[in-house]
Amino acid sequence: MQIQPITPHMGAEISGVDVAHLSDNEFARIQQAFLDHQVLVFRDQDIDRDGHKAFGRRFGELHIHPSKKQLDTRSDPEIFAIRTTPESAWTNGEAWHSDVSCEAVPPLGSMLYVRELPGASGGDTLFANMYEVFATLSEPLRRWLRGLDAVHDGLKDLASYNIKLKPGQTYPHAVHPVVIRHPQTGREVLFVNRSFTDRIVGLPRVESDALLEMLWRHGEDNPRFHCRVKWAPGSIVFWDNRCTWHHAVWDYFPNTRYAERVTIQGTVAPARAEAAA
């Protein structure tokens, strides 16, 4: 088993291992690499849906996406399918985000397996290191942000896809600290994202919008915080939802891309940095 960093601060490719038949030692190395690199890319894997879910369960209980509970109750609840075709008006995940941060306990991580590539190139996924995004802000701003909370609302994300709930349907929303401490590494993380974070608690809307836009642009516009994953047949990408953003690049129109995601449920709610220090 080889672990090759993608950048010095984020991402690693893992080769020479079969995720369907991991020894205890291999799994322990993968667990540590996940915390060290935030984004892991496994090459040359051949798994079906059951194998995909079994690999996810090695890390914890599988998360059921809220859309499976409210909007799509007929398909496999543990598989989140993402199909983008020439007829698609949008593709899922085209804005920088962390998955379903509107949950009271957001997911620990997500595993994506692309089953149909759009061709020889295109359809890459970008990731941003939210440890570094926070650490590179000025100390006065970091000190202020540590005391703030933000509302994360799933309806904001649905609106970006022109999806409206029917009478009787609900979608999660939650309040989380703007700066959290990662429950395993202990490092501080900026925990807001463009898709789900609606507003800063206690600030007028104009001030909240300006602050959030500045924070989002700080993380989105500087490539020093990013790594880029190029997909190939048999690739699985596993990212830490608690300390990364990701962005699905839709640069392959009119080709089709089909992927399936398994998500691991978080075990603790995001905690304010001072409280967990």
* 273 band by pLDDT with thresholds 50, 70 and 90: confident
Q: Please tell me the distance from the alpha carbon of residue 177 to that of residue 141, in angstroms, as a whole number.
A: 15
Q: What is residue 71's predicted lDDT score, i.e. its pLDDT? A: 65
pLDDT tens per residue, range 255-265: 999 999 999 99
Q: What is residue 4's predicted lDDT score, i.e. its pLDDT? A: 97
Contacts of 108 (CB under 8 A, 6+ apart): 59, 60, 240, 241, 242, 264, 265, 266, 267
* 170 band by pLDDT with thresholds 50, 70 and 90: confident
Average pLDDT, the chain: 93
pLDDT tens per residue, range 44-96: 999 999 999 999 999 999 999 888 776 666 678 899 999 999 999 888 888 99
CB 142 within 8 Å of CB 218? no
Q: Which residues are catalytic?
A: 97, 99, 246, 261
Region of 52 (left: φ > 0; alpha: ψ -120 to 50; beta: rest) is: alpha
Domain with 181, as residue range(s), is: 2-276
CA distances from 156 to 17, 164, 207 (A): 40, 10, 18
pLDDT tens per residue, range 97-151: 999 999 999 999 999 999 999 988 899 999 999 999 999 999 999 999 999 999 9
Q: Count of domains in the chain?
A: 1
Domain harbouring 42, CATH code: 3.60.130.10
